[in-house]
Amino acid sequence: MTSKLPDKDDLTGLDIGTTSYSGLLNNIFSEADVHTVNIGDKYQPRMHAEGVSFKTCDISEEELPYSDGTFDAVFFTEVLEHLFGSPYEVFDKIARVIRQSGVLVFGTPNILRLKNRIKFGLGSNPQGVNLSADYFAHVREYSMDECELLLSEYGFSIEMSDYVIFHDLGEFIKWNSGEGSGWSKWLLIPLSIVYYTMCSVVPILRTYLYFKTRRK
């Protein structure tokens, strides 16, 4: 992830959609100035404790609260699929705050992943409905070609794009078999091996889309 970032210790970075990993840049670059924005303030105390500047912002409704060309690098991962409104407007807002030749690291679930295809085949909506009050459902997922169009449309040159599986085979089996119990748990193990093998051989079936881009 860091191989395409500007080679400077005093890097200025923004993570859109705060997570427990938002302070990671502070550990990589000795003098990094790290910022993060989130729709809610859940992570605010933790970010302040880690020396990360935190602001609340709903990027689908508001401009990012920073001046033009503020950041050397912006991270925008696992957020786009949760947003209402036009993705074009969102990328326009992101492009505004990145310096020329600055880096955007972007990731989102792959709508064409194998799990979605199986659900479609069984007559189920892969994006479904989740009634948990703590869960922000996926409003819209994207394919590789759609993401490439969005990025190129707003002045980002794509230096790397890839289909990704986050887990190795052992972790994948453990993660999937944990959803079952009794005999169904043991059935999920060979099914997980077949599923993982198919995704390893056919990249478009993998779970996640990942991009490293640079603003022109």
User: pLDDT tens digit string along 140-156?
Assistant: 999 999 999 999 999 99
Per-residue confidence at 191, pLDDT binned at 50, 70, 90? confident
Q: What is the pLDDT of residue 185?
A: 65
Whether the per-residue pLDDT at 12 is higher than 60: the answer is yes
Of 2-16, 75-89, 94-108, 190-204, the one with minimum mean pLDDT is 2-16
Q: What is the pTM of this model?
A: 0.86
Coil, strand, or helix at residue 2? helix
Contact at 8 Å (CB) between 44 and 22? no
What residues contact residue 89 under an 8 Å CB cut-off, 6+ apart?
60
Residue 196 maps to a domain: no
Q: What is the pLDDT of residue 137?
A: 79
Residue 200 maps to a domain: no
Per-residue confidence at 164, pLDDT binned at 50, 70, 90? very high
First to last CA, the chain: 19
Whether the per-residue pLDDT at 36 is higher than 80: the answer is yes
Residue 192 maps to a domain: no
Task: Report d(CA 88, CA 140) in Å as an integer.
Answer: 13
Report the CATH number at residue 132: 3.40.50.150
Higher pLDDT, 29 or 152: 152
User: pLDDT tens digit string along 47-64?
Assistant: 999 999 999 999 999 999
Q: What is the pLDDT of residue 119?
A: 87
Residue 194 maps to a domain: no
Task: Report d(CA 124, CA 118) in Å as an integer.
Answer: 9
Contact at 8 Å (CB) between 207 and 110? yes
Residue 173 maps to a domain: no
Q: What is the pLDDT of residue 28?
A: 75
Residue 122 maps to a domain: yes
Residue-wise over 23-46: b if at least 16 C-beta within 10 A, else e?
Answer: bbbbeebeebbbbbbbbeeebbee
The domain of 48 spans: 2-166+207-215
Residue 88 maps to a domain: yes
Beta bridge partners of 76: 16, 106
Domain count, the chain: 1
Coil, strand, or helix at residue 62? coil
Per-residue confidence at 7, pLDDT binned at 50, 70, 90? low
